[in-house]
């Protein structure tokens, strides 16, 4: 799982109490987050495959040039950033 510097951050003294009062992530937390991240990536692969199928149908029916596909997203889930073991930020 890719980890940026905020993952299980060592020094949280500059963070609000809701973060700085947290204990470092346990190995159980890290294992859970690693599994969760893998499952999320597998789900995204299914989305990619569905988009390919959709584009194939649009091209086969001549509608690809008349179709606008829009992807949206939110800020996603926390995966250990700032010692937060999951959920929304």
pTM of the model: 0.70
Q: What is the DSSP letter of 62?
A: T
pLDDT tens-digit readout, 38-64:
998 999 999 999 999 999 999 999 999
Are 40 and 32 contacting, i.e. CB atoms less than 8 angstroms apart? no
pLDDT tens-digit readout, 58-86:
999 999 999 999 988 877 788 888 888 87
């Amino acid at each position: 799982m890719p980890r940026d510097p905020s993952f299980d951050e060592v020094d949280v003294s500059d963070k609000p109490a809701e973060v700085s009062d947290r204990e470092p992530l346990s190995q159980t937390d890290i294992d859970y987050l690693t599994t969760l991240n893998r499952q999320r990536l597998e789900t995204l692969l299914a989305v990619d495959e569905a988009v390919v199928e959709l584009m194939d149908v649009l091209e086969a029916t001549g509608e690809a040039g008349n179709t606008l596909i829009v992807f949206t997203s939110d800020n996603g889930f926390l995966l250990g950033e700032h010692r937060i073991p999951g959920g929304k930020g």
